[in-house]
Amino acid sequence: MHYKLNTSTNWKNEVIRKSDLLKKKFRKRNKLIMVPSSHDITPAHLQENIIFIGNILAAGNKVLIVSKPHFNCIKAICDAFIPFKENILFRFTIGSADFNILKFWELNAPNFDERLEALKYAFNAGYETSVSCEPMLDDKIDQVIDQVLPYVTETIWLGKPNQLTGRLSINGFKNDLVTMSRGRALMKIFSDAYILDLYARYKNNSEIMWKSSIKKVLGKYGIEIENDNLRTQILSDCTSVAGVDSFVVA
């Protein structure tokens, strides 16, 4: 929810928050600018997003584009910003390779195959690419890692769902027995034993990064992960400035 402007029922209805943002001139910032942070980039407002991103890039800024990627949207963005490709990093959210799981948890979002094709297109077009597996949506995240790794130039982030049942309740699913039950079952998957085993499998892979939900578990067992890799600074050096966070809300 975006500052109480949205409800669980109208979130799916995308509208332009401020049309004048498409004309906004941005100043050069020292931090990476993340877009969007409310609604995803979808075909409904693709052209507005391209204009918006272009205005940010025109000032010499670096942009982190975060999305559950629609192939046609990513292709259009890649094709539009070839001269700016060195200032763009894509981060695609892919929490499972299972069609049915993605359909349940991320209704109307692209399936795994489409997200993978979007990743491949951005990679082959010469853009910097990364993947966020936060939240992981099943216990088969290896299937995602194995398929995306050849097309990732930066990092793959792994993380547990954060306060899942609480978020489901807030978003209107408190009395939805099926969804709440599946939420509790999903959280049970990510036991300490599972996280420790996951870490053991990928601890020597420099492209795998760990979100705080996993580092918290590892810390209980004396495993400390230093975020001294320069690539991990992208999160701490990323900003959403006024008017940049998103111009599309419900």
Mean per-residue pLDDT of the chain: 86
* Tokens matching residue 118: 């979007």
Q: Is the predicted pLDDT of residue 239 greater than 80, yes or no?
A: no
Question: In sequence order, what are the residues at sequence separation of 6 or more whose Cβ sits closer than 8 angstroms to the Cβ of residue 213?
Answer: 134, 159, 160, 161, 162
Q: Does the bond joining 110 to the residue before it have cis omega, within 30 degrees of 0?
A: no
Please state, in angstroms and as integers, the Cα–Cα distance from residue 114 to each residue in 52, 92, 102, 143, following that order. Answer: 24, 11, 12, 15
Could you read off the pLDDT of 55-93 as tens digits, one per residue? 999 999 999 999 999 999 999 999 999 999 999 999 999
Q: Confidence class of residue 41 from pLDDT cuts 50, 70 and 90?
A: very high
For domain 15-163+225-249, say whether CATH 3.80.30 is its number: yes
Question: In sequence order, what are the residues at sequence separation of 6 or more whose Cβ sits closer than 8 angstroms to the Cβ of residue 222?
Answer: none
Q: Does the bond joining 43 to the residue before it have cis omega, within 30 degrees of 0?
A: no
Q: Is the predicted pLDDT of residue 149 greater than 70, yes or no?
A: yes
Q: How far is Cα 49 from Cα 33, in angstroms, rounded to an integer?
A: 14
Q: Confidence class of residue 1 from pLDDT cuts 50, 70 and 90?
A: very low
Q: Confidence class of residue 132 from pLDDT cuts 50, 70 and 90?
A: very high
Q: Is the predicted pLDDT of residue 245 greater than 50, yes or no?
A: no
Query: Pick from 125, 50, 126, 129: which is nearest to 94 by CA?
Result: 129
Could you read off the pLDDT of 46-56 as tens digits, one per residue? 999 999 999 99
